[in-house]
A and B are shown apart, each in its own frame.
Chain A
Amino acid sequence: MSLKRALLAVSAMVSVASTAAYAETLTIATVNNGDMIRMQGYTDDFTEKTGHTVEWVTLEENVLRQRVTTDITTKGGQFDIMTIGMYETPIWGANGWLVPLDGLSAEYDVDDILPAMRGGLSHEGTLYAAPFYGESSMVMYRTDLMEAAGLEMPAAPTWEFIREAAAAMTDRGNDINGVCLRGKAGWGEGGAFITVTGNSFGARWFDEDWNAQFDQPEWKAALEFFIGMMNEYGPPGYATNGFNENLSLFQQGKCGMWIDATVAASFVTNPNDSTVADKVGFALAPDTGLGKRSNWLWAWALAIPAGTQKADAAKEFIEWATSKDYIELVAANEGWANVPPGARTSLYANPEYQKVPFAQMTLDSINAADPTDPTVKPVPYVGIQFVAIPEFAGIATEVSQEFSAAYAGQQSVDEALAKAQALTNDAMEAAGYR
C-alpha cells in the first residue's frame, strides 16, 4: 500500500514538474479596444486550461504599429503574439515575418472563419492571423428623426438618398446635423472613409500599371459630393472628426446619420452611454448604382511574429481567444451583444445572436465587401479602404492630409487632387512600381 502511494506521489510530482516546465509566459501586444480589454479579463480561463500565463502590453493604435514593426524588423523578440490588422497581415506574411497558422486543431474549425476575413488575413492561401473581431461599415441612423422627416431608410440606400435625408434631418436650431462622417487626416481615419466613398463613385487609387488616378473625374465627383454635403449638413469642424468624435456626437443625439464601423453599433445602442440607444436603425453603406458600395472590411487579428521562441504556446492562445468556446464564454457572462463580432460564420447562425438588432446588418455588410475586387474598374491591388502594399500607409496619410485641408476650406478640391496625384506618383516611382 505504501509503495503504491509512493509511486502515485512520484508520478504526480513528475506530472506537475513537466507541466511547470512546459508552462510559458506569453507577452501579447494589443490595442485598447473594448473587446480586447474584455479578453484580458478572461485570461485566467486560458491559464487554467493550458498552464501558460500572459503578460499584456496595451498600446495606442499608431504606437502599436510602430512598436511591433520595429520589433519584427529588428528581430527584437519582445512579443509572442501581436494584434495586427488586415492591412499588415498579408504584407508581413509575404515577408516571412509571421508564423503561418497552419495545423490548427480540428476542434478549432478554421473553416468556420468568415470567408471574407480568412481571405483578407491570408497570403497565397496561407492564414497568417486569426480574426479576433471583424467589421465592415454601415449606416446608423436615428429612426425618430427619419420618421419626423417623412422618409424611410431603404435597406441599401444610395448616396443621393443620404444627401436628401441629411437635408431633411438637419436642424441647426436644435444642434442636429443631418450626417456625421470622418474627415480627420490619417490613412485609417478620414483616408479610409474617402477611399471607400471613392470606390462607390467609380474611383480607384491606381490603374493596372500603378499610375495614380486622382486626376480622373471620379475622384473629383466623390470629393465634391462629400464636401458639398458635409458643408451643408455636417457638423462644424468635420475636417478634424474621426471615429471617436462622431461617436460622441451621435451618442449625444447630434447626428441624424453616421456612416462608420459596424462595431459602433454596440456603442450607440448601449443605454449606459448613448442618449439615443432605443432610436437607432441600420442600413448598408450607400452606393451610386455603379455596383460597388462604400463599405470597408477590417479585422483586428492575432498573429505570431517569426522571432518568438514560444510559437506553440502562442498558437494555443490564439486558438483559445478566437474559438467558438471563447464566444460562448463571453455570451454566458456578458450577453450575446458583447461577444466579438464579425469573425465566425457559426455566430451568425446562432438563434440567440440573431436577436441582436445589428447582427444581420453587420454580416450583410461584411459579405458585401470583397477586398480582391474593391472598385468598379480593375485594379492591381488587394484591399478596400487600403492598398495592401507597404508604401500605402505613408502615401495615404499624406493624401488624406491634403483632402482634410480641402474639407477645412484651406484649398480647393482641384488643388488637393493635383497634390495627391503628384505625391502618389512620386512615391510610387521612388518605390519602383512605375
Chain B
Amino acid sequence: MARAITPRRKILTSGLAWAIGILLFFPIYWTILTSFKTEAQAINDPPLFFFFDWTLENYAVVQDRSDYMRFLWNSVIIAGGSTLLGILVAVPAAWSMAFVPSKRTKDILLWMLSTKMLPAVGVLYPISLIFVEFNLLDTRIGLVVVLMLINLPIIVWMLYTYFKEIPGEILEAARMDGAGLREEILYVLTPMAIPGIASTILLNFILAWNEAFWTLNLTAAGAAPLTAFIASYSSPEGLFFAKLSAASTMAIAPILILGWFSQKQLVRGLTFGAVK
C-alpha cells in the first residue's frame, strides 16, 4: 500500500526540490545575466540582479572577434564523433560483460573505471608525442579518438548496467530461433535497451562537449572547439567578465537546448532499472 503524503510534507519536499534546483541553476542564470551587462556593471558591488541598462554589446564584440560557427562546428563533430565511436566500441563490450561474464569481468570493469582516476596532465606528454608522431595535432579525428577513449569507461559501465536489467533468456530465445550474434545485438538487445543507450549517448555527448583539457592542449587554430573559444576570453590583465559570460552563453546554448528537449529521455534512461 502506498504511503499517504501529507500536504505539509508535500510542500516541504517541493520547496526543497525548488531550492536545490535554483541553487544548481544559479551559476548559469548569473552567466547569462552578466553577458548583458557592461564590464563595469559586471563587477559592480553590490551585484546587479535585474535593474541595469541591458546591452548586447558583448555579443557584438564576441561575434566580431571570433568565428563562432567554426568553433561550434568543431564541437559538434568532436563531441558527436567521439560519442558514436564510443557506442560502437562499448555495445559489444558491455554485451559480453553482461551476458557472457568471465571470472575477471568485475575486475576488468573496476580497472576500466580506475583509469578515470589518473589526472589527465599525467599523460599529457605521452599523448602529445603520439599526436606529433601520427600528425594528429590540431585535427578533429585525433580529438574524436582521445575523447572516445576518455569516456569509454563511463559508456561501458552505463551500458553494462542497462544490459544487466534485460533477461538473458530473451537473447537465448533469439539464438534458438537462429539469430546470429550480429542480429542478436542489433535486432533484439538494442531495441530493448534504447532508453539506456539514448541516455548514455546524451550524457557522453555533454561530457565530450564540455571537455576542456585535451581540447585546449591538442588544438591550435584548426580543430579548436567551443572550450577554446571560451578560454580565449579570460584575461590576466583587464576586466573580461561580461565578454567571457557572453562567450560562455553562446557556448552552452546549443547543449542547453539539446538537454531541454531531451530531458524526458535523459531522466528515463538514468532511472532505468532503478525501480524493480
**B65 close to A248 (CB less than 8 A):** no
Which of chain A's residues 23-55 have a Cβ closer than 8 Å to chain B? 27, 29, 31-34, 37, 40, 55
**B128 close to A244 (CB less than 8 A):** no
B208: Cβ under 8 A from any A Cβ: no
Q: Which residue of B lies closest to A56 (CB)?
A: B221
Binding-face segment, A12-20, A75-83, A94-102, A358-366: A75-83
A74: Cβ under 8 A from any B Cβ: yes
**B234 close to A78 (CB less than 8 A):** no
**Of the residues B43, B129, B131, contact of A248 by C-beta under 8 Å:** B43
**B224 close to A70 (CB less than 8 A):** no
**B128 close to A74 (CB less than 8 A):** yes
**B235 close to A59 (CB less than 8 A):** no
With A33-B235, A74-B128, A244-B238 known to touch, is A252 a contact of B217 (CB < 8 Å)? no
With A32-B232, A40-B65, A243-B236 known to touch, is A57 a contact of B128 (CB < 8 Å)? no
| Minimal beta-carbon separation of A35 from chain B (angstroms) | 9
B239: Cβ under 8 A from any A Cβ: yes
With A37-B65, A244-B239, A252-B45 known to touch, is A74 a contact of B234 (CB < 8 Å)? no
**A27 close to B220 (CB less than 8 A):** yes
With A32-B232, A32-B235, A243-B237 known to touch, is A63 a contact of B216 (CB < 8 Å)? yes
A327: Cβ under 8 A from any B Cβ: no
B40: Cβ under 8 A from any A Cβ: yes
A61: Cβ under 8 A from any B Cβ: yes
A207: Cβ under 8 A from any B Cβ: no
**Of the residues A59, A76, A263, contact of B128 by C-beta under 8 Å:** A76
Interface size on B, residues (CB 8 A): 30
With A37-B65, A75-B132, A273-B40 known to touch, is A263 a contact of B237 (CB < 8 Å)? yes
**A70 close to B217 (CB less than 8 A):** yes
Which of chain A's residues 251-280 have a Cβ closer than 8 Å to chain B? 251-252, 254, 261, 263-264, 267, 272-273, 275
A333: Cβ under 8 A from any B Cβ: no
Question: Interface 1/0s, chain B 220-251, versus A by CB < 8 A?
Answer: 11001000100111111111100000000000
Q: Which residue of B lies closest to A273 (CB)?
A: B40
Interface size on A, residues (CB 8 A): 41
Q: Which residue of A lies closest to B44 (CB)?
A: A252
Which of chain B's residues 183-242 have a Cβ closer than 8 Å to chain A? 216-217, 220-221, 224, 228, 231-240
B134: Cβ under 8 A from any A Cβ: no
Residues in A neighbouring B228, C-beta threshold 8 A: 57, 59
Give bound CA distance, A275 to B43, whole Å: 12
| Minimal beta-carbon separation of A63 from chain B (angstroms) | 6
**B40 close to A55 (CB less than 8 A):** no
A107: Cβ under 8 A from any B Cβ: no
Q: Which residue of B lies closest to A267 (CB)?
A: B238
B125: Cβ under 8 A from any A Cβ: yes
B159: Cβ under 8 A from any A Cβ: no
Residues in A neighbouring B128, C-beta threshold 8 A: 70, 74, 76
| Minimal beta-carbon separation of B116 from chain A (angstroms) | 21
A434: Cβ under 8 A from any B Cβ: no
| Minimal beta-carbon separation of A55 from chain B (angstroms) | 4
Residues in A neighbouring B220, C-beta threshold 8 A: 27, 29, 55, 57, 78-79
| Minimal beta-carbon separation of B15 from chain A (angstroms) | 32
Question: Interface 1/0s, chain B 38-56, versus A by CB < 8 A?
Answer: 0110011100000000000
**A67 close to B217 (CB less than 8 A):** yes
A397: Cβ under 8 A from any B Cβ: no
**B224 close to A33 (CB less than 8 A):** no
Question: Interface 1/0s, chain A 337-361, versus B by CB < 8 A?
Answer: 0000000000000000000000000
With A247-B239, A252-B43 known to touch, is A67 a contact of B125 (CB < 8 Å)? no
B12: Cβ under 8 A from any A Cβ: no
Q: Which residue of A lies closest to B138 (CB)?
A: A78
Q: Which residue of B lies closest to A60 (CB)?
A: B234
**A70 close to B124 (CB less than 8 A):** yes
B137: Cβ under 8 A from any A Cβ: yes
| Minimal beta-carbon separation of B232 from chain A (angstroms) | 4
| Minimal beta-carbon separation of B214 from chain A (angstroms) | 12
Question: Interface 1/0s, chain A 130-158, versus B by CB < 8 A?
Answer: 00000000000000000000000000000
Residues in A neighbouring B138, C-beta threshold 8 A: 78
Residues in B neighbouring A37, C-beta threshold 8 A: 65
Residues in A neighbouring B216, C-beta threshold 8 A: 59, 63, 67
**A34 close to B43 (CB less than 8 A):** no
**A66 close to B40 (CB less than 8 A):** no
**Of the residues A27, A31, A79, A275, contact of B236 by C-beta under 8 Å:** A31
Give bound CA distance, A78 to B136, whole Å: 11
Question: Interface 1/0s, chain B 133-165, versus A by CB < 8 A?
Answer: 000011000000000000000000000000000
Residues in A neighbouring B217, C-beta threshold 8 A: 66-67, 70
Residues in B neighbouring A254, C-beta threshold 8 A: 45
Residues in B neighbouring A56, C-beta threshold 8 A: 221
Residues in B neighbouring A231, C-beta threshold 8 A: none
A58: Cβ under 8 A from any B Cβ: yes
| Minimal beta-carbon separation of B154 from chain A (angstroms) | 25
Q: Which residues of B contact A (CB under 8 A)?
A: 39-40, 43-45, 65, 124-125, 128-129, 131-132, 137-138, 216-217, 220-221, 224, 228, 231-240
Closest 8 CB pairs of A and B: A58-B232, A55-B221, A248-B43, A60-B234, A78-B220, A61-B236, A32-B235, A74-B128
A–B complex contacts, Cβ < 8 Å, 30 sampled: A31-B235, A31-B236, A32-B233, A32-B235, A32-B238, A33-B235, A33-B236, A33-B237, A33-B238, A34-B237, A57-B232, A59-B231, A60-B231, A60-B232, A60-B234, A60-B235, A60-B236, A63-B231, A67-B217, A70-B128, A74-B129, A76-B137, A78-B137, A243-B236, A247-B238, A248-B239, A251-B43, A252-B44, A261-B237, A273-B39
Identify 12 new A-B residue pairs, CB closer than 8 A, beyond the known A27-B221, A32-B233, A60-B234: A29-B220, A31-B236, A32-B240, A33-B236, A59-B228, A60-B231, A60-B235, A244-B235, A251-B40, A272-B40, A273-B39, A275-B40
